[in-house]
């Protein structure tokens, strides 16, 4: 019998305040040079990877990152979020999922990340087993929308998938 596949999408959003001078700023698994402080977070606080994890879990209606990797659990303290992404992909593949396309928007005022776009795309392509052409990464600033400087790293991700059933 022919395998029946269905399409689905998943959305993820994450935000971490920046202000821990003893922690590096990690975005898409990379330590960002020239960042003055890192995220206040239980894990490494990589908001891009956290949003991607939530989008993947969302695409198969599997709850959220906190349900799978609770921040009350000491074993996740300062853990690399890339490790959590790999665990998430294991759950996703077990459910018959295939990622089709990732569209990510990173919102950070300082430092600028645009020069890392190609590196981020290549890194996510390797992690998710996708051609680079199927990974879109955009960068935004808060554009003075708040009355004070925004010390936060934010990310929103939309993922489209195919699922065998």
Residues that bind Zn ion (CB under 5 A): 14, 50
List the one residue out of 53, 101, 100, 109 whose CA is nearest residue 76.
53
Task: Find out whether 108 and 27 touch, Cβ atoms under 8 Å.
Answer: yes
Q: For Zn ion, give the closer residue by CB, 104 or 129.
A: 104
Instruction: Tell me the CA distances in angstroms from 150 to 49, 76, 78, 133, one per residue in order.
Output: 20, 27, 23, 32
Token pair of 22 as six digits: 């003893």
Report the first-to-last Cα separation within the chain, whole angstroms: 12
- Quote the tokens at residue 141: 């600033």
Nearest distance, CB of residue 104 and Zn ion, angstroms:
14
Pair 50, 12: CB distance under 8 Å: yes
* Between 52 and 137, CB nearer to Zn ion: 52
Q: Which is nearer to Zn ion, 14 or 120 (CB)?
A: 14
The DSSP letter of residue 142 is -
Distance of closest approach, residue 48 Cβ to Zn ion, in angstroms: 9
Q: Which residue's CB is nearer to Zn ion, number 50 or number 121?
A: 50
Q: What is the closest distance, in whole angstroms, from the C-beta atom of residue 84 to Zn ion in the complex?
A: 10
Q: How far is the CB of 7 from Zn ion (least distance, A)?
A: 27
Ranked by CB distance to Zn ion, the top (closest) residue is: 50
Measure the CA dihedral 48/51/55/58, to 10°.
160
In the complex, what is the shortest distance from the CB of residue 94 to Zn ion, in angstroms, rounded to a whole number?
A: 23
Closer to Zn ion at the Cβ: 64 or 103? 64
């Amino acid at each position: 019998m022919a395998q029946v596949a269905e399409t689905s999408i998943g959305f993820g959003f994450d935000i971490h305040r920046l202000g821990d001078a003893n922690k590096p700023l990690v975005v898409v698994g990379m330590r960002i040079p020239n960042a003055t402080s890192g995220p206040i977070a239980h894990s490494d606080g990589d908001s891009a990877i956290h949003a991607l994890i939530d989008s993947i879990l969302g695409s198969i209606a599997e709850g959220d990152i906190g349900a799978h990797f609770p921040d009350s659990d000491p074993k996740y303290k300062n853990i690399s979020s890339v490790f959590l992404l790999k665990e998430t992909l294991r759950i996703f593949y077990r459910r018959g999922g295939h990622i089709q396309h990732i569209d990510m928007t990173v919102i950070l005022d300082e430092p600028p990340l645009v020069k890392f776009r190609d590196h981020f795309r290549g890194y996510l392509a390797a992690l998710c087993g996708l051609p680079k052409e199927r990974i879109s990464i955009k960068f935004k600033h808060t554009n003075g929308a708040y009355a004070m400087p925004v010390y936060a790293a934010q990310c929103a991700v939309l993922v489209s998938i195919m699922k065998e059933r």
